[in-house]
A and B are shown apart, each in its own frame.
Chain A
């Protein structure tokens, strides 16, 4: 069975600083990987996805993520954080069959200091 670990429960960064959120996955085959963002009281919005090909993927809102098979990681990055980026971020791994189910990590809460 697949699993996702997000080791950082909370992260605080200053506005304008760079950001990296960690995600490690366990999956027996080639993974389908996703990052979602959730603002307070809202649903989940897809930031970016990785299926195959280029291991550096670009997403919305200036985010990018890099797939590293050797480290089973899919870390999310942003060069300069804005106060509006404060939210909870979820990494997820998807199956290619069996309903294409997603398994989520427990999330990282990002706080941005002005």
Chain B
């Protein structure tokens, strides 16, 4: 257990509305990641953070923004949700320096109607 929580765990929202997903970790990890999981695609990286206020884009960043104002929180925002953003979203942290494996949170299932 890497001490990662995600909120909300489930959300249904309408097209065009803004949505923010929260990832919270309790162990002061520097690196945090947001992935989306879709059938037939595995997990794909949206954005990641390598420190407070330090973020970068991943493979599928269009339509998403992130913020990290505190070490423990990494927020993913969909500025104007679309049906193509219906997915399961996972947050992850990278183990301490010297290791490269990532540990995942429980996920957030988002449905955009």
Contact = CB atoms under 8 A, between A and B. Distances in A.
B106 interface: yes
A58 interface: no
Given A43-B106, A44-B90, A99-B56, A107 B42 contact: yes
Q: How large is the interface on B (under 10, 10 to 19, 20 to 34, 35 or more residues)?
A: 20 to 34
Interface string B18-50: 000000000000010100000011111100101
The interface residues of chain A, by DSSP majority, are classed as strand
Given A104-B42, A105-B42, A99 B31 contact: yes
A100 B44 contact: no
Interface in B60-92: 90
Nearest to B45: A101
A73 interface: no
Contacts of B107: 42-43
A70 B94 CA distance: 29
A2 to B, nearest CB: 11
B113 interface: no
B42 A46 contact: no
B90 A34 contact: no
A90 B100 contact: no
B102 interface: yes
Interface in A29-69: 32, 34, 36, 42-46, 49, 51
B40 A34 contact: no
A4 B100 CA distance: 17
A89 B100 CA distance: 19
Contacts of B90: 43-44
B55 to A, nearest CB: 10
A53 B43 CA distance: 27
A90 B41 CA distance: 11
B58 interface: yes
B100 A104 contact: no
B26 to A, nearest CB: 16
